[in-house]
Amino acid sequence: MLGYVISEGRGTVDPLMAEVAHRLMVQGWPVAGVIQLNSETGPETKCDMDLQILTGAEPVRISQRLGRFARGCRLDPAGLERAVGLVERALDDRPRLLLINKFGKAELEGRGFRPLIGRALLEGVPVLTAVNRGNLPGFHAFTDGIGTALPPEPGAVIDWCAGQVAPQPV
């Protein structure tokens, strides 16, 4: 009921998760969750990060511009929590899958989408996410080792998703 793709670098898994979400939704799957969209801002600043809520809400900005020489975390906690709230409402409709773009630092700290991942699993909703290799120990501690590592290939990920629940009428 929990599948994850290991991310090998910044932003490498975002296109994969977007493609999987798109393919499943085209097939008529009710999917709740988010995919990450990065927008380049120029050579002197880091990209803007937005989360596209899969149930149709406008993208939510989750990054903040800290300046050219800033070294701190660019994550905007208020933006992330807004996205979590929107996904939580979608989870109330019992989707066929909860897709979370990544299990990141906020989730390692017990915030972000972590409570929704736990809720979905308790309610029998399969969860698909991505995990940076460096976050795997914390992810496994949270999940108690359950979950299936998936290859970073759209077909294999979609096959895993399809195997998690009985087909629903469209």
Q: Where are the beta strands (DSSP E) in the chain?
A: 2-7, 31-39, 48-53, 60-61, 97-103, 127-132, 148-150
**Other CB atoms within 10 A of residue 51 CB:** 26
End-to-end CA distance of the chain: 21
For residue 125, the one-letter residue type is V
How much is the average pLDDT of 57-63?
78
- DSSP 8-class letter at 65: -
pLDDT band at 21 (very low <50, low <70, confident <90, very high): very high
Q: Is 63 helix (H, G, I), strand (E, B) or coil?
A: strand
pLDDT digits (tens, 9 = 90+) for 114-155: 999 999 999 999 999 999 999 999 999 999 989 999 999 999
The predicted structure's pLDDT at residue 79: 82
* Stated pTM of the model: 0.85
pLDDT digits (tens, 9 = 90+) for 74-114: 567 788 888 899 999 999 999 999 999 999 988 999 999 99
- DSSP 8-class letter at 47: P
